[in-house]
Amino acid sequence: MNKAVVVFSGGQDSTTCLIQALAEFDEVHCITFDYNQRHQEEIDVAKKLAASLGATSHKIMDVGLLNELAASSLTRDNIEVSHELQENGLPNTFVPGRNILFLTLAGIFAYQLGANTVITGVCETDFSGYPDCRDDFVKAMNSALVQGMDKPLDIKTPLMWLNKAETWALADKYSKLDVVREETLTCYNGVIGSGCGDCPACTLRQRGLDDYLAEKKAVMASLDSKTA
């Protein structure tokens, strides 16, 4: 039985990864993390999408301890989401340690299920500058988990080298463009679908969609060349 665990937030990227995984694996198990984030609606969105798309199981994990330790505009209501970078060069939406924790727990979940693949929607090509979305980081985490659990594990990052337009094309390739466009939650202010239209996440998402819709054939060809 070919099994995979998808780190699933219900946003554009993780939903696209789930859609692809469902076509490639016999069993696909989702794991969603509740860290008392700013937009709690994403938990409900993730539940609905995992069920409607046909995930084998969906685990919601309470990791509120992350909220205690990591101060960010996504973990504190009194910190407004900013378009400006902080002194350290990172957006104030960066949650330090988030993907370290998420990939560790997803790896443990995969161990429990007998799955050798963990899939995450992180991307280094068209992203917000988070250090824990970079390819080098994922490879380091993969190595640590394999050594620490003495078990084969492959952390797959299908979107790592895709731009946002190509990510939209990937959803369209599986005939799920409308699902991703209308039912996912990417917005930092918790607005489903097109979002608030102002926050950095919405800006990045909309720009990618506009680029894809303007040049569908060219973007799809670029996607195919990268995934061949």
Contacts by 171-179 with C-beta closer than 8 Å and gap 24+?
A: 171/12, 171/15, 171/16, 171/19, 172/212, 172/216, 172/220, 173/220, 173/223, 174/19, 174/20, 174/23, 176/16, 176/19, 179/15, 179/19, 179/49, 179/53
Q: Is 133 annotated as a binding residue?
A: no
Residue 196 in marked binding region:
yes
Q: Is 56 annotated as a binding residue?
A: no
184 found inside a domain: no
| 194 in any annotated domain | no
Question: Can you give the CATH number for the domain in which 78 is found?
Answer: 3.40.50.620
Annotated ligand binding at 17? The verdict is: yes
Is 197 domain-assigned?
no
Would 218 be classed as within a structural domain? Answer: no
Whether residue 187 is annotated as binding a ligand: the answer is yes
| 9 known member of a binding site | yes
Pick out the chain residues at pLDDT < 70: 38-39, 67-95, 126-128
Quick one: pLDDT at residue 74?
57
pLDDT digits (tens, 9 = 90+) for 93-129: 666 778 899 999 999 999 999 999 999 999 988 666 7
206 is annotated as contributing to ligand binding: no
What pLDDT sits at residue 92?
Answer: 59
Residue 88: the pLDDT is 62
**Residue 216 domain flag:** no
Residue 190 CA to residue 206 CA, distance in Å, equals 15
Q: For residue range 79-95, list pLDDT tens digits in order.
A: 565 555 566 666 656 66
d(CA 203, CA 197): 6
- Asked whether residue 25 is domain-assigned, the answer is yes
Burial of 188 (0-12, 13-18, 19+ CB in 10 A): buried
136 is in an annotated binding site: no
Domain range spanning residue 44? 3-163
The reply to whether 12 sits in an annotated binding site is yes
